[in-house]
Amino acid sequence: MRIIGGQYRSRVLTEFAGENVRPTSDRAREALFNILSLKMYGARVLDLFAGSGALGIESLSRGAKEAVFNDFSKDSVAIVKKNLTTLKIAVNGENSKVMQNDYLACLDQIRGQFDVIFIDPPYRFDYGEKALKKIADKGLLSADGIAVYERDVPFAGEIAGLEKYDERKYGKTYLTFFKRG
């Protein structure tokens, strides 16, 4: 897996061996960041189910001022830290913060608002909808912030306080975009 654009373009990231973690494909990630390109510079980003940290690192590469990485897995957190260190981004420095929490505990603990929130949970669980509800309840999106929910089926339903305004399909991946409602 590599960084698609920006300051760290073409740099290779450490990723997981095996089938337990499903990273966002390069194609879907490139399309996602083309859509978000005007939002990235100076943005505060939350990568809620960080995995390898690719989405948050791609954000930093494209000019985000801060990325908060969270994952419940200690192995994921170790890979995020390794990837940040490889790119000479200070772990828990001015531009990055790495947390190891359950996603709901993370959302309860973090302070302030985010310009972009990536929600890419394991597909087999309904963590994404629960995360979106908590994000709306706590007002974690900035006034023109965007939450991006990645899953393997189209999003059906509503989230009080958020408005679904776009959905795109890339291969087997659906990216659903939400803003404050």
Q: At 78, which CATH number?
A: 3.40.50.150
Give the residue among 50, 65, 53, 58 at the shortest CA–CA distance from 115.
65
How many Å apart are CA 140 and CA 123, to the nearest integer? Answer: 23
Q: What is the pLDDT at residue 22?
A: 58
Residue 84 within a domain = yes
In a domain, 43, yes or no: yes
Closest CA to 32 of 138, 157, 174, 141: 174
Provide the pLDDT for residue 23: 66
Give the domain range for residue 90.
Answer: 26-180
In the three-class reduction of DSSP (H, G, I as helix; E, B as strand; rest coil), residue 30 is classed as: helix
Q: What is the pLDDT of residue 46?
A: 98
Distance from the Cα of residue 141 to its chain's centroid: 13
pLDDT score for 25: 74
The pTM for the full model equals 0.95
Q: What is the pLDDT of residue 21?
A: 59
In the prediction, which pLDDT does 15 show? 81
Can you give the pLDDT at residue 20? 54
Judge whether 44 lies within some domain. yes
- The whole-number pLDDT of residue 10 equals 87
Cβ atoms within 10 Å of 81's Cβ, excluding its own = 17
Query: Residue 16: inside a domain, yes or no?
Result: no
List Cβ neighbours of 160 (8 Å cut-off, separation of 6 or more): 133, 136, 181
Residue 152 has what pLDDT?
93
Residue 119 falls inside a structural domain: yes
Report pLDDT for 24: 72
The pLDDT assigned to 123 comes to: 85
Total domains in the chain come to 1
Residue 79 contacts residue 53 (beta carbons within 8 Å): yes
The per-residue pLDDT for 2 is: 85
Is residue 76 domain-resident?
A: yes
Mean pLDDT per 10-residue run, the chain (181 residues)? 89 72 76 95 97 96 98 95 96 95 97 97 90 98 97 94 97 95 89
Tell whether 164 is covered by a domain.
yes
Burial 22-59 (b: 16+ CB within 10 A, else e): ebbeeebbebbbeebeebbeebbbbbbbbbbbbbbbbb
